[in-house]
Amino acid sequence: METANIVVIGAGVVGLSIAARLSENNEGIYVLEKNSRTGQEISGHNSGVIHSGIHYPKGTLKARLCVKGNSMLYNLGEKFDIQYKRLGKLTVASGENEIKEIENLYRMGNDNGVEGMKLLNSEEIREMEPNIVAEMALYTPSTGIIEPDDLMHHFYAQISNNGAFVSTQTEVTGIRETNSGYEVSGISSGEKFAFNASTVINSAGLFSDKVAAMAGMDVNELGYSLSYYKGDYFRIAGTPPVKMLVYPVPKGEGLGIHLTPDMAGSVKMGPNAYHVEKIDYTVGSSAEEFRQDVKRFLPSISGRDILEDSSGIRPKLQSVNGSFRDFVIRHEAENGYHGLINLIGIDSPGLTASPAIAEYVSELYENEVKH
Ligand SMILES: Cc1cc2nc3c(=O)[nH]c(=O)nc-3n(C[C@H](O)[C@H](O)[C@H](O)COP(=O)(O)OP(=O)(O)OC[C@H]3O[C@@H](n4cnc5c(N)ncnc54)[C@H](O)[C@@H]3O)c2cc1C
């Protein structure tokens, strides 16, 4: 049986970021990934938005790690030539209820330390984005876009440079507590494998509740069970109607169907949010649903061609009456699992937060090692 200091389960943006950070100061790190390539699940199916941090209640991990991750991502982009654009974002509102929501977001952004925000009236909105119609908007200049694949390649390169390993086609199917940590076992390229690891980091995205259950945890009791919410994307054909990101006020499980320019300027619409039982990435919505939804703030969408694009799936922690659920990022010693760090329900803004999550996990790990 092989011996590892730290096993990270899952090579999405979060697992890769954690392994890149921990391998700066630690040896014997292995990242195990069930797919034949890294970043093929949530991290390969998202909007690529660098969020500012206006959507999350003060003091939560989502708020703190998003705001910190935002500036860390811009610094990484600058330093390592990862494609990014600081485009700015308008969150638009019309009608009394939506305007109240915008004022809430402004307050939350202030609480979270989001810099440079401004409330705009309809004329100021038109000056910034002539095709957008709304009574009020919140402008957040620190919102941008990044190429998720470039970011993951960067973390992968750091991992290799630091002497750690990523093993693809390696699915973990069992985790058993031992005297010195955990035996992590499964199938790698068709062969059985087993590792003895002092620390296990569960960063398995959509499957992270199942991985926690493998270790023997009662995921229902702990509130770790995930359900899946798919989000589809469509693309607006032809000349881009906007230059910056344009969002409605959030409703339901997502942030509302929004407009996101990509690196080339072409504009994607989405994602929406609907519950699914299975993980498959086929687009299940119609272009017409998207047209009707976006028409409220982009009337010219009526005359435009809309092309089907892609979809992604969110790992949602269950909540009572849709109340806010924070990321679960926890060293499980208090639940009797020394050396097990769980990351569960890492939905949006997980991409933005990924370098800050890595720092946070590194602190949890160092604290555990000292005790
Ligand atoms: C539609 C959508 C849009 C989003 N947009 C944004 C955005 O614009 N900005 C933003 O900040 N965030 C966004 N997010 C959130 C962000 O994409 C995620 O938080 C982030 O990608 C999660 O990364 P991860 O590494 O935790 O999960 P994943 O990328 O899913 O990685 C987990 C990995 O674990 C592997 N794995 C699972 N089980 C096992 C096992 N048993 N053995 C071995 N390997 C295993 C999987 O194959 C997978 O590769 C969006 C999410 C969605 C769904």
Within-domain flag for 244: yes
Low-confidence residues of the chain, pLDDT below 70? Answer: 369-371
Within-domain flag for 76: no
Within-domain flag for 126: yes
Within-domain flag for 64: no
- Same domain assignment for residues 249 and 306: yes
- Same domain assignment for residues 251 and 215: no
- Same domain assignment for residues 137 and 261: yes
Determine if ligand 1 sits within 6 Å of the CB of residue 14: yes
CA of 344 to the centre of ligand 1 (A): 10
Q: Contact, 361 vs 339, CB < 8 A?
A: no
The DSSP result for 126-146, as a single string, is HHH-TT---SEEEEETT-EEE
- Number of domains within the chain: 2
- Same domain assignment for residues 240 and 279: yes
Alpha carbon separation from 201 to 19, 30, 57, 108, 136 (Å, rounded): 9, 10, 26, 31, 44
State the pTM of this model. 0.98
- What confidence score (pLDDT) does residue 254 get? 76
Domain span at residue 164? 2-45+149-225+324-370
- Same domain assignment for residues 99 and 123: yes
Pick the closest to residue 346 from 6, 5, 18, 7 (CA basis).
18
- Same domain assignment for residues 232 and 132: yes
Determine if ligand 1 sits within 6 Å of the CB of residue 294: no
Within-domain flag for 65: no
Determine if ligand 1 sits within 6 Å of the CB of residue 143: no
CA of 222 to the centre of ligand 1 (A): 21
Within-domain flag for 72: no
Per-residue pLDDT tens digits for 331-342: 999 899 999 999
- What confidence score (pLDDT) does residue 321 get? 75
CB proximity list for 95: less than 8 A, separation 6 or greater? 135
Q: Among residues 283, 300, 317, which one ends one of the domains?
A: 317
Q: What are phi and psi of 230, to 5 degrees?
A: -85, 150
Which CATH number fits the domain that encloses residue 301?
3.30.9.10
Determine if ligand 1 sits within 6 Å of the CB of residue 301: no
Per-residue pLDDT tens digits for 265-305: 999 999 999 999 999 999 999 999 999 999 999 999 999 99
Pick the closest to residue 172 from 182, 186, 183, 193 (CA basis).
186
- Same domain assignment for residues 195 and 294: no
Q: H or E element: which one contains 227?
A: strand 226-236
Within-domain flag for 83: no
Residue 354 and residue 76: Cα distance in Å, rounded?
A: 12
- What confidence score (pLDDT) does residue 369 get? 66
- Same domain assignment for residues 131 and 244: yes
Determine if ligand 1 sits within 6 Å of the CB of residue 347: yes
- Same domain assignment for residues 192 and 328: yes
- What confidence score (pLDDT) does residue 318 get? 87
Which CATH number fits the domain that encloses residue 166?
3.50.50.60
Alpha carbon separation from 72 to 12, 151, 209, 263, 353 (Å, rounded): 18, 12, 28, 19, 9
- Same domain assignment for residues 160 and 300: no
- Same domain assignment for residues 340 and 217: yes
CA of 88 to the centre of ligand 1 (A): 24
Within-domain flag for 265: yes
Pick the atom of ligand 1 nearest to 260's CA.
8
CA of 65 to the centre of ligand 1 (A): 16
Pick the atom of ligand 1 nearest to 312's CA.
1
Residue 312 and residue 153: Cα distance in Å, rounded?
A: 20
- Same domain assignment for residues 281 and 216: no
Query: Which residues face 146 on adjacent strands?
Result: 84
Residue nearest to atom 2 of ligand 1 (CA): 46
